[in-house]
Structure 1
Amino acid sequence: MTEEDVRRVAITIYAKKCAEAEEVLMSPLVFDMHDIQLLRKYGICGVLSGTLPTAAQQNVFLSVPLRLMLEDVLWLHQNNLADVKIIRQGGDEIIAGITPERGAKLAKLVEDRLTKSFDYQTKFKKDQHIAKLKKIGIINDETSAEELQRLDKSNNNDQLIESSLFIDIADNSSILKDDSIALNSLSCDDIRNLLFKQYERSEKMQTYFLYKALRDQGYVLSPGGRFGGKFIAYPGDPLRFHSHLTIQEAIDYRSEPIDLISMISGARLGTTVKKLWVIGGVEEETGSTHFFSVEWAGFG
């Protein structure tokens, strides 16, 4: 990895190798909120997937980690914008491998973080309470600390503040930062080769070239399974635009037959949800990418 690569790598992505096939990666995940903000600036939104097992939520209420598509990771690596850490162990192995000393250190970090969070919340709420009392004229700038303490005691303000404190859950994991768990020694080229092998293995490498061509044109892509495609494409941030295209997996459009039923059903579905049904492929001789859109016009 060159000095420029080190300077540009900012986003940490965690991935786990599949137990059955060492060359297959499970869904890459991003835990850090700062990294997620950077991804959004680069046009990668991902899918939030974090929730509590006993409190299932709708998609709009999910939290970290952010799940990325493999195409997102490939694109980030080609632009030297991310560092993928391969997790060697399963969850049970990770927990079992934590030494008592390491466990005590982690517990102390959590305790210190919670104490700092509670102190910040308490001060913020007290400042808000004082500002409200000043606004309604109960106290002023000349009110003494003893008088404020008496008012708080008479109104049980301290107890009310304590009951309103919440536990701030960390967005990233201190355990995953341990070098014995995450493999940090692979260079960007090594990880890129591993990911490309996975694509060659599944014969879908050309689908990535479709993804890359659309990203180069400024589209933001997300998984398109719910609209019958490989990707859905937005002309900008999904918070500002509806998706316009439903992209299918790449085909050899010069020689591979297109199933007429699939084309008709895809075009009708696309028209129903106000999206173009798009197929495409890569011309081997020139390496250029071509797209073809199909729209259902209706009859009668």
Structure 2
Amino acid sequence: MLQEQAAISSAEVDVENCNYKMTIFICNGQFLIWNADDVLKLRQEHHIIGNCIGSLPWKPRQVIQGSLPLRLSKVEAAYLHERGFVSLKDGNEIDKNNFTPSRKQELKLSRMFQTTAQNTILKEQKATELDNLAPTIIRGMAEKHKQRVERTGDQVGSVKFDTFKEVEINKTFSRLEEHQWLEMPLTSSSYDELPGLTDYSFEFGEMEQLMYDVFCDLHHQGFYMTNACKFGGDFLVYPGDPVAYHSFYIAVCVPQNKKISGLEYSRYGRLANTVRKTLLICSKNDDGDVDYLSISWTGIAQSEEPKS
């Protein structure tokens, strides 16, 4: 099965994908994708989820939902590369001294433009807010003037609302440049100059190879998979996109010749039962096919179990 999939010719892949290949940047052993369209394409067409590890610009301290780049596991990256869906580039080769004077000037002008644009928008918002509060502000100013006259006898006229409004707007944005939001480009011309890795080889150890084979087999059956470290397994297995479905299985990859004690079976089963999932013990038989042993406590519903 896996051999048949691997035999897909590069010509067939190119025709199917209109000669377009997504780019994976390999940076310090991590496999990253920076193009948002590619991330969507991976999810919708290739059922590859990955893990967004960036922070959203409007909520930088959040931990629930990430932004670009998308980090792929070694297994996911190898799966895509073997089938010709992606090209690889060495992200470690970016020239850190490529900020020429013209590039620095370009960044400076970009920041000035962003500052001006944000000033304009925020001043308009502040002006609208003050105009909506104008009746309350004017009454308050009149009351303060009346109290000052009674207390000091000073007959100087009260501050006009337009003057007050101008002062408040200028006070609000006096430090905007220090706290403004900066638009950071996710792609750079430097990326285009990075060398391609045409002879890159994904080297797997015994367990990594088993995980790769299990991933390919489940993926071929139409399942989606994500990392299952937080559930004590290797993969969380979904019947559809994780956005719309809960995972059905926790897949644990075990070499065929490894002995599993009753205590380990109980531990795995109880863990899966606690989170309302079915445990899959995955291994390869002597014929090279992937076998599955499912374990579930009585009362846990099963459906769409992968074919052995």
Say whether 1:183 aligns with 2:195: yes
Change (3 A) 1:258 1:13: same
- The SS at the match of 1:247 is strand
Change (3 A) 1:154 1:274: same
Say whether 1:167 aligns with 2:169: no
Contact 2:280 2:295 in 1 (8 A): yes
Change (3 A) 1:32 1:267: same
Which residue in the other structure is 2:88 paired with?
84
Which residue in the other structure is 1:37 paired with?
40
Say whether 1:257 aligns with 2:254: no
CA RMSD of superposed structures (Å): 4.0
One-letter amino acid matched to 1:276: T
Contact 1:9 1:83 in 2 (8 A): no
Comparing 103-112 with 156-165, greater Cα deviation is found at: 156-165
* Deviations, residues 21-43 of structure 1 (Å, cap 9, x unaligned): xxxxx121222323222222232
- The SS at the match of 2:259 is coil
Provide the C-alpha distance between the structure 1 equivalents of 2:106 and 2:292, rounded to a whole number of angstroms.
52
Which residue in the other structure is 2:240 paired with?
236
Provide the C-alpha distance between the structure 2 equivalents of 1:57 and 1:126, rounded to a whole number of angstroms.
27
* TM norm structure 2: 0.65
- The SS at the match of 2:64 is helix
Larger Rg: 2
Comparing 72-81 with 166-175, greater Cα deviation is found at: 166-175
Provide the C-alpha distance between the structure 2 equivalents of 1:250 and 1:171, rounded to a whole number of angstroms.
43
Which residue in the other structure is 1:293 paired with?
294
Return the match for 1:65 from 63, 69, 89.
Answer: 69
Unaligned 5+ residue runs, structure 2? 1-9, 130-161, 300-308
Change (3 A) 1:278 1:173: same
Question: How far off its partner does 1:260 sit?
Answer: 2.3
One-letter amino acid matched to 1:293: S
Change (3 A) 1:237 1:123: farther
Provide the C-alpha distance between the structure 2 equivalents of 1:82 and 1:171, rounded to a whole number of angstroms.
22
Which residue in the other structure is 1:222 paired with?
226
The number of aligned residues is 256
* TM norm structure 1: 0.67
Provide the C-alpha distance between the structure 2 equivalents of 1:178 and 1:109, rounded to a whole number of angstroms.
18
Question: How far off its partner does 1:87 sit?
Answer: 3.0
Comparing 70-79 with 116-125, greater Cα deviation is found at: 116-125
Question: How far off its partner does 1:154 sit?
Answer: 9.0
Which residue in the other structure is 2:269 paired with?
267
Provide the C-alpha distance between the structure 2 equivalents of 1:105 and 1:4, rounded to a whole number of angstroms.
41
Change (3 A) 1:29 1:276: same
